[in-house]
Structure 1
Amino acid sequence: MKNVRIKIIVFIGLLGVMSCDSQLDLAPADVYIEKDVFETSETAEMAISDLYHKLFLASVGPTHVIPDASLPYVGLPAISSYANYFGGNLTPTDGQVENIWRTYYEAINVANVFIDKVPVFGQYDETLEQQHIAEAKFNRAYCYWALLCFYGHGALTGNNDGLGVPLQLTPYDGFNQSDLIPRNTNGEVYAQIISDLTDAVQGLPETYETQLKTRVRATKATAQAMLSRIYLYHRDYESCDEVSSAVIANTNYKLEPELLDLFPLNTDGTTSSFSDEVIFGFPVSANGGNFQYGTHSIYYYNKFIWVDADFIESMDPSDERRTDLIFQGNPNITNPNTANEKTTFKFNNSEQRDDVQMIRLAEILLNKAEALTQLEGVNGETINLLNQIRERSGLNPVQESDFDSKEALLTALYNERYIETAFEGRGRFDFIRTGRPLRNPDLTENQKVFPIPQREIDLSEGILVQNPN
Structure 2
Amino acid sequence: MTTTMFKYIIAGMLVAGSLASCEKMIEIPAPISETSSERVFSSDKLALAALSGAMSNTVSSQAFAINLTVVNGMAADELLYIANSNYDEIATNIYSPLSAASGTSLVNSLWSDIYAGIYRFNSVIEGVTASSALKDSLKTQLIANAKFMRGLCYFYLVNLYRDVPLVLKTDVNVTSLQPGNTAAEIYAQIIADLKDAKEVLPADFTSQSGSRTVITKWAAGALLARVYLYTEQWQLAIDEATNVIDNGLFAMGTLSNISVKNNTESILQFGSYLSATSGYTYMGLALAASYTQYTMADTLRHSFTADDQRGQQWIHTMTYNNVISYQPYKYQNNTTGTTRLEAPAVLRLAEQYLIRAEASLHLQLTDTARADMNIVRVRAGLGASTSTDAATLALEIESERRHELFAEYGLRWFDLRRTGRINTVLGALKSTWTAKAAYFPLPQSAINANPNLVQNPDYN
TM-score range, shorter chain: 0.7 to 0.9
**Alpha-carbon offset, residue 193 of structure 1:** 0.5
8 Å CA contact 2:249–2:264 kept in 1: the answer is yes
1-structure distance, mates of 2:152, 2:309: 31
2-structure distance, mates of 1:431, 1:45: 39
Q: Does 1:363 align with 2:347?
A: no
**Please, which moves more after superposition, 112-121 or 221-230?**
112-121
**Please, which moves more after superposition, 140-149 or 211-220?**
211-220
> Please, which of 68, 77, 80 is the counterpart of residue 82 of structure 2?
77
2-structure distance, mates of 1:178, 1:123: 28
**Alpha-carbon offset, residue 55 of structure 1:** 2.8
Q: Does 1:202 align with 2:191?
A: no
8 Å CA contact 2:208–2:214 kept in 1: the answer is no
Q: Which amino acid aligns with 2:444?
A: Q
Q: Does 1:241 align with 2:238?
A: yes
Name the one with the larger helix percent: 2
8 Å CA contact 2:283–2:331 kept in 1: the answer is no
**Alpha-carbon offset, residue 211 of structure 1:** 6.3
1-structure distance, mates of 2:23, 2:83: 48
2-structure distance, mates of 1:167, 1:275: 35
Q: Which residue of 2 aligns with 1:394?
A: 381
Partner SS for 1:263:
coil
8 Å CA contact 2:124–2:146 kept in 1: the answer is yes
Structure 1 residues 26 and 79: alpha-carbon distance in aligned structure 2, compared to 1, 3 A threshold = farther
1:336-375 alignment, distance < 5 Å: 336-337=322-323, 340-351=324-335, 354-375=342-363
Partner SS for 2:206:
coil
Root-mean-square deviation over aligned CA pairs: 3.0
8 Å CA contact 2:164–2:181 kept in 1: the answer is yes
Q: Which amino acid aligns with 2:88?
A: A
Structure 1 residues 190 and 178: alpha-carbon distance in aligned structure 2, compared to 1, 3 A threshold = closer
**Alpha-carbon offset, residue 66 of structure 1:** 1.1
Structure 1 residues 455 and 310: alpha-carbon distance in aligned structure 2, compared to 1, 3 A threshold = closer
1-structure distance, mates of 2:229, 2:347: 14
Q: Which residue of 1 aligns with 2:393?
A: 409
**Alpha-carbon offset, residue 252 of structure 1:** 1.2
Q: Which residue of 2 aligns with 1:36?
A: 39
Q: Which amino acid aligns with 1:427?
A: R
8 Å CA contact 1:12–1:26 kept in 2: the answer is no
Partner SS for 2:85:
coil
Give me the identity figure in percent: 28
TM-score normalised to structure 1 length: 0.83
2-structure distance, mates of 1:297, 1:345: 8
Structure 1 residues 28 and 217: alpha-carbon distance in aligned structure 2, compared to 1, 3 A threshold = farther
Structure 1 residues 136 and 122: alpha-carbon distance in aligned structure 2, compared to 1, 3 A threshold = farther
1-structure distance, mates of 2:447, 2:284: 29
Give a deviation string over 1:37-88, Cα, whole Å, max 9, x none: 1121111111111222233113122232111122334344395333222423
Q: Which residue of 1 aligns with 2:122?
A: 112
8 Å CA contact 1:281–1:356 kept in 2: the answer is yes
1-structure distance, mates of 2:373, 2:198: 27
1:268-283 alignment, distance < 5 Å: 273-283=261-271
**Alpha-carbon offset, residue 237 of structure 1:** 0.9
8 Å CA contact 1:71–1:428 kept in 2: the answer is yes
8 Å CA contact 2:147–2:193 kept in 1: the answer is yes
Q: Which amino acid aligns with 1:375?
A: L
1:289-438 alignment, distance < 5 Å: 295=282, 299-302=286-289, 303-329=292-318, 334-337=320-323, 340-351=324-335, 354-376=342-364, 379-399=366-386, 402-404=387-389, 406-425=390-409, 426-436=411-421, 437-438=425-426
Q: Which amino acid aligns with 1:415?
A: S
Structure 1 residues 192 and 296: alpha-carbon distance in aligned structure 2, compared to 1, 3 A threshold = same
1-structure distance, mates of 2:287, 2:281: 17
TM-score normalised to structure 2 length: 0.85
> Please, which of 177, 182, 186 is the counterpart of residue 185 of structure 1?
182
1-structure distance, mates of 2:75, 2:176: 36
Structure 1 residues not aligned, in runs of 5+: 153-163, 265-272
Q: Which amino acid aligns with 2:187?
A: Y
8 Å CA contact 1:315–1:322 kept in 2: the answer is yes
**Alpha-carbon offset, residue 233 of structure 1:** 0.9
Q: Does 1:452 align with 2:432?
A: no
**Alpha-carbon offset, residue 113 of structure 1:** 1.1
Structure 2 residues not aligned, in runs of 5+: 1-7, 99-103
Q: Which amino acid aligns with 1:373?
A: L
